Amino acid sequence: MAAKDELGRRGEDTAVEYLEREHGMVVLARNWRCRDGELDIVATDPERRLIVCEVKTRSGTGYGEPAEAVTPRKVRRIRGLARAWMAAHQVGWTEVRFDVVAVLAPPGGATTLTHYPAAF
């Protein structure tokens, strides 16, 4: 596995552990794919809201903070992917929230996580 892929997987693992432990979320899907792309995490929270979570992981801030990688174009794509996920899983969610989890994992340093609920 390439170093970038491994970093991303570690970031997603960290995000899932955090969302489950700190917010009582239940993960419904990880790395859900369709022809238009991939959703990192699809979960439900204790209030039964559907949470679509984009995880951005970086090893440093030389190219900016991880959350800065969630561009307007990416937001549009994630919203479309969420519609596709909901169409494929006919549950009838009444509320959908889009979160971002930013993970900073420097080599040899402490990993930090910042959660942005309702980021877009």
Q: How many domains does the chain have?
A: 1
The tens digit of pLDDT for each residue in 20-31 reads 999 999 999 999
The domain in which residue 91 lies consists of: 3-116
- The helix (run of H) or strand (run of E) holding residue 52 is strand 50-58
Spatial CA neighbour of 50 closest among 78, 76, 70: 78
> pLDDT by residue (tens digit) across 51-101?
999 999 999 999 999 999 999 999 999 999 999 999 999 887 889 999 999
- What CATH number has the domain bearing residue 96? 3.40.1350.10
Residues 55 and 39: their CA atoms lie apart, in Å, by 9
| Single pTM value for the model | 0.92
